[in-house]
Structure formats: structure tokens, C-alpha cells
Amino acid sequence: MMKQKARVKWALEGYENSKYFHNFVNRRANKNHIRGLPVNGNWNCSPQTIKEEMHNFFLKVFKDDDHEQGHFEFNISRISENDNLMLEGKFSEEEIWKAIKSCGSSKVSGPDGFNLKFYKKFWWLLKDDIVNMLDWFWYREEISKGCNASFITLILKNKNPLNLSDYRPIS
């Protein structure tokens, strides 16, 4: 995250650990800090209450209503037996490496903090663990808890947010 923020003005400023950089990061952090929320008609600044209010609000936002999502018609012809075996087969090491290589190296990192440049550079060291993880998925048909974890970030919809509805969640 700091590396992404550092790219803002470094072509002009040059040095990444400058006073400008630290002022920029601190200004953004202060601007984006949620200092309070209206709870039951009263303004509340308690961090615990804000956390609970956010949790309850986004539980409602992300709750799956048990209604039908829509109907799609697909006209799919039958695939060959060989194509079916390939689609249902285990992931090969070459297939995994090809997928990793095809992604941008400096894209946003995952919850572990590593971007794809790390995986590409240390593929020789990580490949057995990654292949084993995907084999686990193929045999058990389940993903370990936390493997598909993500952070939710709130983006301002307007300059003066007063309610949680004034933020747009992104993952």
C-alpha cells in the first residue's frame, strides 16, 4: 500500500522517504478516518459502537435475499469427452505457472501482503506448496477457510459522509 502511495509524485520529488511522502500519507489517513456515526439518532464516537454499527449495516447490505437472481438461457452444445476430461482434471504445474505469469506483477496484494511479483520470483520455492494446495482443493472440493479472504474498503460517495450509506464498499 505504501509503495502504491509513494508513486504519486516520486518522478518529481525523487526520494521515497521524504517529508512530502509522510505528510501525504498522514493527510489521507486523517481524511479517511471515520470519527463517528449516528446510532439510534445520536452521534456516537465510541470505536466499539462504530464497529458494531458497521458490522450490522454491512451484514444487511451483503445479506443474500432468498429470492431468485434471474433466469438465463444458455445454448451450449455438448463438449467432447477429451475436453470434459481436461476441464474436470487436476491442475497441472505448467497450467498454474502459466496463469500466474499471465497476471500483472505489481497488482494489488492479497491479505497476506504478497503481490504476484513475489510469487513469480520465488516460484521455484513456492510451487510445491501451491500445487499441493490446489490438489487439496481438487480432491476435497473445498477451499480452506481464509484462502478466499479479502478486505473490504470503504470509498467515499460524497465529500461529507454522515452515514454508512455515504460509503461504497469494495473488496
Segments making up each domain of the chain, as ranges = 92-171
pLDDT tens column, 76-116 = 778 889 988 888 899 999 999 999 999 888 766 666 778 88
pLDDT score of 73 more than 90: no
Contact 111, 150 (CB under 8 A): yes
pLDDT tens column, 16-50 = 667 777 777 777 777 777 888 888 888 888 889 88
pLDDT band at 72 (very low <50, low <70, confident <90, very high): confident
Residues 6+ apart with CB under 8 A from 9: 20, 24
Three cell numbers, residue 54: 458497521
pLDDT band at 64 (very low <50, low <70, confident <90, very high): low
pLDDT of residue 8: 59
Which of 55-59, 84-88, 124-128 is modeled with the greatest confidence?
Answer: 124-128
How far apart are the C-alpha atoms of 167 and 153, rounded to whole Å?
Answer: 9
Contact 28, 22 (CB under 8 A): no
pTM of the predicted model as reported, rounded to 2 decimal places: 0.50
How far apart are the C-alpha atoms of 96 and 112, rounded to whole Å?
Answer: 19
pLDDT tens column, 137-149 = 899 888 777 777 7
Three-class DSSP labels, 12-70 = HHCCCCCHHHHHHHHHHHHHHCCCCEEECCEEECCHHHHHHHHHHHHHHHHCCCCCCCC
pLDDT score of 126 more than 90: yes
